[in-house]
């Protein structure tokens, strides 16, 4: 029984990690290629979730809702890139932090104004709402399993895009030397808009997928954004591979920590104290992991000096 | 005197004058607003040492603000329940005395800043921003999940803590106290800015290699600045908790860090009085726009965006022009 529960938690951790990867991939690409720290990435996640919830409520189709989340987030991303973000590439990090913080305020309050303060609900599609039986007799929700598979597929797609396509070559070249690739005739402004919209679409997609498990509400993006920061710091800024490894590490550490720590403290403390100490420590665990990585690898696991 | 000095003096005069006027006109709410502004200014002055002078973009200063708040909350809650904090190895009692609470708040937030700074300053630039944000979040989640002091609900204190010789329940006297603390810290900051340490810190921001080449260690300079900065913000947190007689994890949230940063930006980065003017403008906006629309953060966001994109230097920059030796 305990083993089954443990495997279920392991899968939950994997699902959480895969979601974090979708979120961090865009963030790390945008930083790696454009040198921009984007706090408003969490707002794009929220926009994706709201677009999905609105379209699902109107049409009843989950697939259309997912497409809407991709489109809305990519559109919002491209829009802010064209109007605001591109003025920030040459500014220092403080300006980038402040301007994107201002964008969060605008997006959050704007969404509250449009949709109200009450959370929306996005239903899991009927075909995926039941459990599936995995080898070994483990019952696991089909929807969460789908998220893991979709997330892994996106990860593979991202690796292929970055490492195997012409656009990927340009992205990597832009990371290495932006003046040189501009001099070689690549339209760097278009490339930047594309990369930003791609990152935004991934964030919006993640928001829609998670929105079906949790509620869709204003402010849902920022906690995930901060976790994505932890992921990138652990993995190394600019590295997709680092984002992937970091996301899985953070997802598994957080989920398993919340599951195991209270049980471990129960061996030495009385039950109520064990739960409070265990859960308090579990909520800090990923940050402790981050601090540990920083002590040994200040540039992250796959960061370049 | 330069135009900046005039602007600074005018800001102080307004900050002190408005509550005096409100006292005469019997408008205690205005006095409370001014007290909020003075406390926010103090928090901003703390962050400004790291951000403006040291160039350290810390997005985790709410941690110190909240730790200061919780120092007050924990000590006062034990005092009002007549339950000592610890009986072993020696007896530690709670207290309702502000000077003691301030000392504890300053020491606790300085220690937290030392630990967070020692780790975060191993990195720089965008890593530093993300890491300070993450550590701030760690303390936030800890405060939420630790049930002993109210957890998510926070801690209420029934009676404001006392200061020898003052009736702190009287709004104007409490404002005077906060204003005096703010002025004292401003004098301290002015001394720090012009000290050998302040110049070295500023130099480390402008050109790290040169500072290294004359034999100084930027890491140590920055760590000291970060600790002092955290301690001042912690002191502001203790005052803020006393103003509201309430402390909750909201004080530790990352939005709080963002707001403290906004005070500095509105006023002017790296200016001694930047956070003072910024906090006053912020309170004014919150009060007037907040009355006009429930969604006033949209306007705040637009204003902030405008300042960042088009009016770097904030209010002081617009009035007094660029600093002579500002990089």
**pLDDT value, residue B326:** 46
Q: Is residue A82 part of a domain?
A: yes
CB B131 within 8 A of CB B138: no
Asked if the C-beta of B137 comes within 8 angstroms of chain A's C-beta atoms, the answer is: yes
Measured CA to CA, the distance from residue A230 to residue A288 in angstroms comes to 10
Q: How far is it, in rounded angstroms, from Cα B229 to Cα B217?
A: 18
Residue A81 distance to chain B (closest CA, Å): 14
Q: What is the pLDDT of residue B323?
A: 58
> What's the Cα-to-Cα distance from B113 to each of A117, B105, B231, rounded to whole Å?
36, 12, 8
Q: What was the pLDDT predicted at B238?
A: 96
How many domains, chain A? 1
Establish whether this prediction's ipTM goes over 0.90.
Answer: no
CB contact under 8 A, B297 and A299: no
Residues of chain A with pLDDT under 50: none
Question: Count of CB atoms within 10 A of residue B166's CB?
Answer: 13
**Residues B315-323: what's their mean pLDDT?**
77
- According to the model, what pLDDT value does residue A251 have? 95
For the B3-320 domain, the top CATH level (class) is mainly alpha
Q: Does B144 touch chain A (CB under 8 A)?
A: yes
Whether residue B301 and residue A113 make contact (CB cut-off 8 A), yes or no, is no
Q: Over the stretch B136-147, which tens digit does the pLDDT of each residue have?
A: 999 998 898 887
Q: How far is C-alpha A239 from the geometric centre of its chain's CA atoms?
A: 14
A287 touching B (Cβ < 8 Å): yes
**Helix, coil or strand: residue A1:** coil
For chain B, what percent of residues have pLDDT higher than 90?
60
- Best residue of A29, A83, A102, A218 to probe chain B, by most B CBs closer than 10 Å: A102
pTM value?
0.89
Q: What is the pLDDT of residues B199-251, one digit of tens each?
A: 999 999 999 999 999 999 999 999 999 999 999 999 999 999 999 999 999 99
Residue A240 lies in a domain: no
pLDDT at B75: 93
What does DSSP assign to residue B13?
Answer: H
Residues of A in contact with B295 (CB under 8 A): 109-110, 112-113
Mutation pick from B145, B269, B290 vs chain A, by most beta carbons of A within 10 Å, is B145
Q: Is residue A195 part of a domain?
A: yes
pLDDT of B120 > 60? The answer is yes
- Best of A97, A112, A285 to substitute, by most chain B Cβ atoms within 10 angstroms, is A97
Query: Exposed, middle or buried: residue A298 (CB in 10 Å: 0-12, 13-18, 19+)?
Result: middle
SS3 B121: coil
CA-nearest residue to A280 within chain B is B145
Determine whether the interchain pair A294/B119 forms a contact, defined as Cβ–Cβ distance below 8 Å: yes
State which H helix or E strand residue A141 sits in.
Answer: strand A138-141
CA A275/CA A287 separation, integer angstroms? 20
Residues B163/B99, Cβ–Cβ less than 8 Å? yes
Inter-chain contact A98–B265, Cβ cutoff 8 Å? yes
Range in A112-121, B258-267, B293-302, B316-325 the model is least confident about: B316-325
Per-residue confidence (pLDDT) for residue B292, from 0 to 100: 81
Q: Would residue A291 count as lying in a domain?
A: no
Contacts of B289 in chain A (CB under 8 A): none
In whole angstroms, give the CA distance from residue B200 to residue B206: 10
Q: State the pLDDT at residue B84.
A: 83
User: CB A158: neighbour CB atoms within 10 A?
Assistant: 22
Give the pLDDT band of residue B308 (cuts 50, 70, 90). Answer: confident
Please list every residue in chain B whose beta carbon sits closer than 8 Å to the beta carbon of residue A291. 119, 135
Q: What is the domain range of residue A53?
A: 2-218
Tabulate helix, strand, coil % of chain A (nearest 5): 75, 5, 20
Of A154, A201, A187, A152, the closest CA to residue A51 belongs to A201
- How confident is the prediction for chain B on average, in pLDDT? 90
Structure tokens at B159: 């009676």
Distance, in Å, from the CA atom of B150 to the CA atom of B246, rounded to the nearest integer, reads 11
**What's the gap between Cα B252 and its chain centre?**
12
Residue A287's contacts (CB-CB under 8 Å, 6 or more residues apart) are A230, B134, B135, B137, B138
- Does any CB of chain B come closer than 8 Å to the CB of residue A184? no
User: What is the spatial distance between Cα B223 and Cα B121, in angstroms, rounded to a whole number?
Assistant: 7
Q: What is the mean pLDDT of residues B133-156?
A: 88
Looking at CA atoms only, how far is residue A134 from chain B in angstroms? 34
Query: Domain ranges in chain B?
Result: 3-320
- Inspect the interface and report whether the beta carbons of A95 and B138 lie closer than 8 Å: no
pLDDT digits (tens, 9 = 90+) for A230-272: 999 899 888 888 999 999 999 999 999 988 888 888 888 888 8
Measured in residues, chain B has a length of 327
The span from the CA of B193 to the CA of B201, in Å, is 9
Closest approach of B64 to chain A, Cα-based (Å): 17
């Amino acid at each position: 029984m305990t083993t089954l529960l443990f495997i279920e938690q392991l899968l939950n951790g994997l699902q959480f990690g895969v979601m974090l990867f979708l979120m961090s991939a865009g963030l790390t690409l945008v930083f790696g290629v454009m040198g921009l720290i984007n706090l408003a990435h969490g707002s794009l996640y929220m926009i994706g979730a709201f677009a999905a919830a609105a379209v699902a409520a109107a049409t009843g189709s989950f697939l259309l809702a997912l497409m809407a989340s991709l489109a809305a987030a990519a559109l919002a991303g491209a829009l802010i890139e064209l109007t605001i973000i591109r003025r920030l590439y040459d500014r220092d990090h403080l300006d980038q932090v402040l301007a994107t913080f201002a964008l969060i305020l605008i997006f959050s309050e704007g969404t509250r104004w449009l949709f109200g303060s009450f959370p929306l609900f996005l239903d899991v599609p009927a075909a995926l709402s039941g459990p599936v039986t995995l080898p070994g007799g483990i019952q696991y929700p089909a929807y969460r399993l789908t998220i893991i598979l979709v997330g892994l597929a996106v990860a593979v797609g991202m690796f292929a895009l970055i490492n195997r396509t012409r656009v990927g070559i340009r992205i990597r070249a832009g990371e290495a030397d932006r003046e040189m690739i501009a001099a070689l005739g690549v339209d760097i402004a278009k490339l930047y808009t594309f990369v930003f919209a791609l990152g935004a679409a991934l964030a919006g997609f993640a928001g829609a997928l998670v929105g079906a498990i949790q509620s869709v509400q204003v402010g849902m993006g920022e906690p995930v954004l901060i976790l994505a920061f932890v992921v990138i710091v652990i993995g190394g800024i600019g590295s997709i591979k680092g984002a992937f490894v970091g996301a899985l590490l953070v997802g598994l550490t957080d989920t398993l920590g919340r599951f195991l720590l209270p049980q471990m403290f129960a061996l030495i403390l009385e039950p109520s104290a064990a739960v409070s100490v265990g859960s308090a420590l579990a909520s800090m665990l990923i940050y402790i992991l981050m601090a540990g990585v920083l002590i040994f690898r200040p540039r992250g696991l796959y960061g370049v000096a | 005197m330069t135009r900046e000095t005039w602007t600074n003096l005018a800001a102080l005069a307004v900050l002190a004058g408005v509550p005096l006027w409100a006292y005469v006109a019997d408008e205690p709410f205005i006095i409370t607003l001014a007290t909020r502004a003075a406390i926010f200014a103090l928090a901003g002055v703390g962050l400004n040492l790291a951000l403006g002078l040291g160039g350290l973009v810390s997005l985790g200063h709410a941690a110190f603000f909240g730790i200061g708040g919780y120092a007050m909350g924990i000590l006062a809650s034990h005092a009002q329940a007549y339950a000592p904090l610890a009986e072993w190895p020696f007896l530690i009692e709670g207290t309702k005395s502000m000077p003691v609470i301030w000392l504890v708040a300053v020491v606790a937030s300085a220690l937290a800043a030392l630990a967070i700074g020692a780790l975060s300053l191993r990195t720089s630039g965008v890593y530093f921003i993300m890491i300070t944000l993450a550590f701030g979040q760690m303390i936030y989640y800890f405060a939420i999940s630790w049930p002993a002091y109210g957890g998510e609900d926070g801690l209420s204190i029934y009676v404001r803590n006392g200061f020898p010789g003052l009736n702190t329940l009287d709004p104007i006297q409490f404002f005077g106290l906060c204003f005096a603390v703010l002025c004292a810290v401003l004098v301290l900051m002015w001394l720090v800015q012009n000290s050998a340490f302040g110049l070295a810190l500023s130099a480390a921001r402008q050109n790290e290699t040169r500072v290294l080449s004359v034999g100084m260690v930027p890491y140590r300079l920055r760590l000291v600045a970060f600790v002092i900065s955290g301690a001042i913000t912690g002191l502001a947190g203790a005052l803020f908790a006393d103003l509201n007689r309430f402390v909750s994890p909201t004080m530790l949230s990352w939005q709080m860090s963002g707001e403290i940063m906004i005070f500095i930006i509105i006023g002017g980065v790296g200016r001694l009085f930047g956070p003072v003017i910024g906090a006053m403008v912020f309170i004014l906006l919150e009060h007037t726009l907040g009355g006009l629309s429930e969604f006033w953060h949209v306007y705040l966001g637009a204003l902030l965006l405008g300042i960042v994109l088009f009016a770097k230097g904030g209010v002081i920059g617009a009035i007094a022009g660029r600093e002579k030796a500002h990089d």
